[in-house]
Amino acid sequence: MAVVSVYRLLKDNFVEFVAVGVISFAFILLLKLVIRIINLRRAFKGFPEPGGKHWLLGHMKFFLGKGGSNARLQRALEWTAKYPKFFITFFGPTRVSCTLNHPDTVKILLKGADPKPIGFGGAYRHALPWLGEGLLIAGGKRWARSRRLLTPAFHFDILKPYIGVYKECAGLLEDNIGRFAREGRSFEVFSQVCLCTLDIILRCAFSYKTNCQEQTGEVHPYVKAVNEIAELWFYRNRAPWLYPDFIYYNTEDGKRFQKNCNFVHNVASEVMQKRRKDLETLDLKSKRYLDFLDILLTAKDENGTGLSDEEIRNEVDTFLFEGHDTTASAISWILFSLSENPEYQVKCQKEIDQVISDSEDGELGWEDLSKLPFLTQCIKEGMRLHCPVPFVARNNTTPVEIEGHTVPPGTFMVANIWCLHHNPTVWGPDHMQFKPERFAKENISKLDSFAFLPFSAGPRNCIGQHFALNEEKIVLAKLLHRFSFSLDKEHKVEHNAVAVMRAVNGIRLYAKER
């Protein structure tokens, strides 16, 4: 009888019971949210924080407002001038970003090996469908194992033979630029240089030769796909309403992101399949050196376990991206700065001409890389001024003490390389000027080792930084030996900080045969 009574009670008042349940659940969620907000505000009370925060959106309006990337970068510099060590910003009521912009604070984060933020809303979580848990994103034991297995691929003995590849690919780039020079037309730098750096990474890391520099169009499909992925990824990071996958992948942006990811994965798979087929008939002992993909396919840890197919593809995707995009950004912006400052360009050319004339075969060799000190200064100053990689993010796993404040675990912490490289307390009031003498031997010794971080620092620094620097020296030396570059003054150049530093509408220069 009691059971029947309860059944009738539920039946007669079903809607009321459901309503009470829903309201109770919503109340509990709201209460938890309020408690989280209160605890968050309490934890970050007294931290340096820009004004103008919205009660609900926090500082999001500054990141989503009008003016584009250039305005956001300028605002970051204004905040750096006011808060030269670090500051916090709120993304909505429950998410805090701690931005580090000074050597004293950046080193606290980068000296450790804290993981990249890949939890819900984490900056690198949205890149997982693209790069997977390759060396860039992986954390903990997976990162340590991959780093240990891949380090031999960047030994100096491995890097030496690549000089010939750099020169051959740079020669193709010269030919492409030469066509614009003969026609007296300006050209978009990044799209041309990107093809060269893609060609180089494919040949050096994967022994995979293509005709990507010989295509007729200005944008290679792979380069275009990576550009779109990077922009879509960066925009999603600034739009919390797009964090849930079930929402994002039903938007036009989400569908484009997935389509481009599928395309770059197919390129990586094609590279892998070709090498696997080659390995069936190739005796690795007969090769002069093992390239990056050889090591991926044959490396084994102390337990005799190799990398899985998924791990290999993740690393291939990661190095295809990092191995061409960041280097192309650096070379393009350095050419831009040398075009803006022709007196430095001429000084570079004299140095390069002298080294080449002194060489036995009239070509740059491995031993000549150390004979280009002023070009090296210009490369470093270009990377300081334009920051190929604008920021590096981590999630701290333990409380971190910064300037008398305790940052709680799990905070989104950003080593903002753009702000660090333009911090007036580090680089002076002329930090926006291109001054290669900053990196002269007598000046660089005075710099904090964490003041200049184009390749990050600490245990998670860029594993391929020597590869990239050598490549930049050879490509720039060959281009400057043959051409003089000048600005297309009809074209406005503005920074566009996405996964790497690009220009909003590209960089257009004129080239003239010397």
Q: How far apart are CA 258 and CA 311, in angstroms?
A: 19
Burial (CB count <10 Å: 0-12, 13-18, 19+), residue 89: buried
Residues sharing a CB contact under 8 Å with residue 426, sequence separation 6 or more, in sequence order: 102, 103, 420, 448, 451
Q: Is residue 59 classed as helix, strand or coil in its secondary structure?
A: coil
Residue pair 423/84 in contact by the 8 Å Cβ criterion: yes
How far apart CA 75 and CA 416 sit, in angstroms, is 13
> What is the residue type of 490?
E
CA dist list (Å): 9 to 3, 14, 15, 148? 10, 8, 11, 66
> How many Å apart are CA 227 and CA 300, to the nearest integer?
34
CB count, 10 Å around CB of 443?
12
What sign does the CA torsion over 45, 51, 52, 58 have?
negative
Residue 196 in marked binding region: no
- DSSP assignment string, 482-514: HEEEEE-TTS---EEESSSEEETT--EEEEEE-
Burial class of residue 92 (count of CB atoms within 10 Å of its CB; 0-12, 13-18, 19+):
middle
Torsion angle of the four alpha carbons 446, 451, 455, 456, in this order, in degrees rounded to the nearest 10: 130
216 secondary structure, DSSP code:
S
Rounded to whole angstroms, the Cα distance separating 138 from 154 reads 19
Task: Please give the single-letter amino acid code of residue 381.
Answer: E
Binding-site entries = 462
Binding site per annotation, positions for heme: 462
